[in-house]
Structure 1
Amino acid sequence: MKTTSLGAATCIAALLASSLAAAAQQGAFCGPRERIVAQLADKHGETRRAVGLQQNMQVMETYANSETGSWTIIVAMPTGVACLVAAGEAFQTEAGAAPVAKKDEPA
């Protein structure tokens, strides 16, 4: 099954939005964005690698450490609060644009 980067990004954004709402309601993994970003840099050596704006004015940010491969995704709200929504390992960047599915190929 072939997935376009736009389709994958849409799915990820939807999952992040629902994860953020659940995390914010529970009060877990949320705090001032500046503090979270500082901790990602100080404790994990992660720097911002990607950023995107969601429809509800929330900002999705991906942080990663290219030496260790650790990565973290946070979503920051206009209020200055950010929530951790995903983290993992084996981060890698890809050169070039993702292939676009042809009209007769499944997305």
Structure 2
Amino acid sequence: MATSPIILCIPRVECTISKDYIYSVFSKLKIGKIESVQEIPLCNGSQYKRIIVKISWITNDISTYIQTRLLNDQTIKIVHSMPWYWLCVKYIKNISKKMHGPDPHMMKMSQS
């Protein structure tokens, strides 16, 4: 489907949810091989974390549907325990730099 792999991001998950649970939920979808599940803390002391899921996609109706939505910057909902779901988006590396500009740095002052 995609020329470069699409990586999923669950922007906000409770810290009580384990990586193993997330792995098992995505495995049951049968959309491909789950290569990794990465946890990123949101803030110091926060009750939430961000999840990055790397998948080797297979070709079937569900995976094609998911990839198409993500490529069109749309969200998907993954129901993990009825009625609870995760809202997933396409992972964009370094989005904070795009939103907030480059890292702070020194500039030479020109002499006038």
Name the TM-score class by shorter chain: 0.3 to 0.5
Instruction: Report the structure, 1 or 2, having the larger strand content.
Output: 2
Instruction: Report the structure, 1 or 2, having the larger helix content.
Output: 1
TM-score by length of 2: 0.32
TM-score by length of 1: 0.33
Find the structure with the greater CA-based Rg: 2
